[in-house]
Amino acid sequence: MSGAEFCALSRQLGYDFFTGVPDSTLGAIFKVLENDPQYTYVSSVREDNAIGLAVGAYLGGLTPLVLMQNSGLGHCITALASLSSLYRIPLLLVLGWRGYHQNDAPEHVMIGRLLPTLLKTIEVEYLAPSTTEVTEAMARLSQTNKEKRVTTALLLREDIVS
């Protein structure tokens, strides 16, 4: 899937506000968001700030999608628990999944291995689709987060969006 196809799919699913901290795993998506004026994208300097921007966008009537590297999830736990989860703000997190295959830079291996457990612990439903499953996975997570008003997460390995 290309970055343009991912962004178009996001728009089809109703997402109209994008924020996050740029990440090389999701680079093709960020390139589209940064260069195509049809997408409302606000870059953030920290992942917890991106959660705050997304919550503000939601309260303003938009449907936010938050992008970040999986290691940034650690910066967001308090914002997710005490803001979006507490007030039932539906967010879709798109996480670039570094370290999932144990063949990555050492700083990514531990968080990559623990990511599914961490998401379960903070009660965030997630899917980690193959390239051919992205559309179905995003549709399912989108439906869940909107119907239940919860945060969900899409885990994307480096070879999924190019």
Provide the CA 88 distance to its chain's centre, in angstroms: 17
Can you tell me the mean pLDDT for 149-158?
Answer: 95
pLDDT of the residue at 19: 98
CB-neighbour burial class of residue 24 (10 A; exposed 0-12, middle 13-18, buried 19+): exposed
Least confident of 2-6, 83-87, 111-115: 111-115
**What ranges do the domains of the chain cover?**
3-156
Helix (H, G, I), strand (E, B) or coil at 131: helix
Least confident of 22-36, 70-84, 104-118: 104-118
Radius of gyration for the alpha carbons in the chain, expressed in angstroms and rounded: 14
pLDDT tens digits, residue range 5-40?
999 999 999 999 999 999 889 999 999 999 999 999
Compute the half-sphere exposure of residue 158: CA atoms within 13 Å on the CB side of its CA.
11
CB-neighbour burial class of residue 146 (10 A; exposed 0-12, middle 13-18, buried 19+): middle
CA distances from 76 to 13, 47, 68, 130, 133 (A): 24, 6, 10, 25, 27
Compute the half-sphere exposure of residue 23: CA atoms within 13 Å on the CB side of its CA.
25
Helix (H, G, I), strand (E, B) or coil at 99: coil
User: To the nearest 10°, the Cα dihedral for 103, 104, 105, 108?
Assistant: -110
> Considering the domain 3-156 in this protein, what is its CATH number?
3.40.50.970
